[in-house]
Amino acid sequence: MLTRGKQRFKLKMPGAFVILFILTIVAVIATWVVPSGSYAKLAYNQANSSLQVKQPNGQVEKVPATQKELDKLGVKINIQKFTSGSINQEISIPNTYQRLKQHPAGVDQITSSMVNGTIEAVDIMVFIFVLGGLIGVVRASGAFESGLLALTKKTKGHEFLLIFLVATLMVLGGTLCGIEEEAVAFYPILVPVFIAMGYDSIVCVGAIFLASSIGTAFSTINPFSVVIASNAAGISFTEGLPWRAFGCVVAALFVIGYLYWYSKKVKQNPAASYSYEDRDEFSQKWSVINNDEQQAAFTLRKKIVLALFVAGFPLMVWGVMTQGWWFPKMAASFLAFAILIMILTATGKNGIGEKGVVDAFVNGASSLVGVSLIIGLARGINLILNQGMISDTILDFSSSLVAHMSGPVFIIVMLFIYFVLGFIVPSSSGLAVLSMPILAPLADTVQIPRFVVVTAYQFGQYAMLFLAPTGLVMATLQMLDMKYSHWFKFVWPVVVFLLVFGGGILVAQVLMY
């Protein structure tokens, strides 16, 4: 730290946009340094019911969709996983890695990747804009404020109960259906509640993002993580399920206990908050309480508005879990609720009129532009790494690194390999289909079950995703105007716990099998 007289200079952690800009430059440099290479890729072509093999040089070959052909290719996966659609992405074919001509990114790709990443993320961006507009209309109706006043009176003295319930539901959502990006929708409804109860921004992120991610790290039947990874590894997702369920319970108890310790500390002494320096700005942005009793009256119309708003969230969860909804469908459902609420808020006694509700929707959507752009920038980094064709090179190096190790050492090294890969490929399904056909068969060489590698993938990747700017964390922090340094101070004990506890489970699995 440099000092000059009484004035003190210190380095500050840059904001989300600057961090991602720096990482974009680092990614471009990496494409010049790390050798380019690729595995041959395998996909099922539904149009002609054949397997399609794409060689590293780009040549495409069609082969019959039979188990015999898969065995020839060294892909130890049941052919039905492809024909049924359980595996619907390209997978890497083992022992086919080839070095290729270098594909370095140009300086122009620093900015073009940002644009292209934003285009690729347009589905989630539209979802966020619609969500922001919905929030703006509900706020304009006064329903948030009135409902919060009623809730805080009823929960006085039992504030942590709400945190416990939210965190428990998020853990369940994570382990059962992989709620991650969808959790963004819960901040607007829950953050004002936590503020009214005297908590800070970190408690909000902890109860939602941290809890849902710890559930996903210990996925039991999550179709976007453990099911895809198990299919790509050539095993049933039920293998190792009791271990993951046990780990999920223990990890959930740890996270809820950690939240209890931190929230109690902040409640008793607000200055103990890791984000105390930003407390006033955070409260000003998210608090919806004022002292106008007439304005705060919880009328029937406000109750209907709040009921419609809340109803959108279980509908979203139902749609994702049972109907295969993705962001366009989720956005459409929230837009339908927004239109109903706009009609209620614009008309009748004390209605704010057509212009009032439209302005509220537009202002609400515009307040989340920064969050949407963050997601696009993070996608842009992944595009650079993919176009530079260095992900497979890192994967090939990783596979050679763990060859011929003893079982316990093998699986711990595998845990940290996935920790690193989680930064490069933050998508859980993307990393599963990229790595499992290559790394899972290595378990056979050290005589341990393949499901242990699947478990290492879960623990390693999600330990990184609590920290990785290339994942969802930066969008979450941007949404709540939280500094990355504040989040890191809070979350690093959880990352250490996940790696240590997860490593213990992995070694126990190896020794018992």
Interatomic CA distance for residues 334 and 452, integer angstroms: 40
Whether 52 is covered by a domain: the verdict is: yes
Whether 58 is covered by a domain: the verdict is: yes
Whether 433 is covered by a domain: the verdict is: no
The Cα-based distances of 277 to 8, 108, 190, 206 in angstroms read 17, 38, 22, 18
pLDDT value at position 374? Answer: 82
Long-range contacts of 14-18 (CB under 8 A, 24+ apart): 15/483, 15/484, 16/374, 16/469, 16/474, 16/475, 16/477, 16/478, 16/484, 17/370, 17/373, 17/374, 17/377
Whether 63 is covered by a domain: the verdict is: yes
pLDDT value at position 411? Answer: 94
Whether 77 is covered by a domain: the verdict is: yes
Interatomic CA distance for residues 489 and 270, integer angstroms: 16
Which residue, 435, 332, 430, is CA-closest to 92?
435
Interatomic CA distance for residues 352 and 311, integer angstroms: 23
Q: What is the mean pLDDT of each run of 10 residues along the chain (513 residues)?
A: 48 73 90 92 87 89 89 85 79 89 90 90 87 84 74 74 88 82 75 83 91 92 84 86 94 96 91 84 68 61 85 80 81 91 84 85 85 82 87 86 86 94 83 86 84 95 89 83 90 96 95 86
Interatomic CA distance for residues 126 and 133, integer angstroms: 11
Those residues whose C-beta lies under 8 Å from the C-beta of residue 134, and which sit 6 or more positions away, are 309, 312, 334, 335, 337, 338, 341, 361, 364
pLDDT value at position 424? Answer: 83
Q: Report the domain count for the chain.
A: 1
Domain interval for residue 65 = 46-105
Class of residue 323 by CB neighbours under 10 A (exposed 0-12, middle 13-18, buried 19+)? exposed
Whether 471 is covered by a domain: the verdict is: no
pLDDT value at position 260? Answer: 95
Whether 55 is covered by a domain: the verdict is: yes
- State the number of CA atoms in the 13 A half-sphere of 32 facing the CB: 8
Whether 205 is covered by a domain: the verdict is: no
The CA-to-CA distance between both ends of the chain, in Å, stands at: 52
- State the number of CA atoms in the 13 A half-sphere of 451 facing the CB: 18
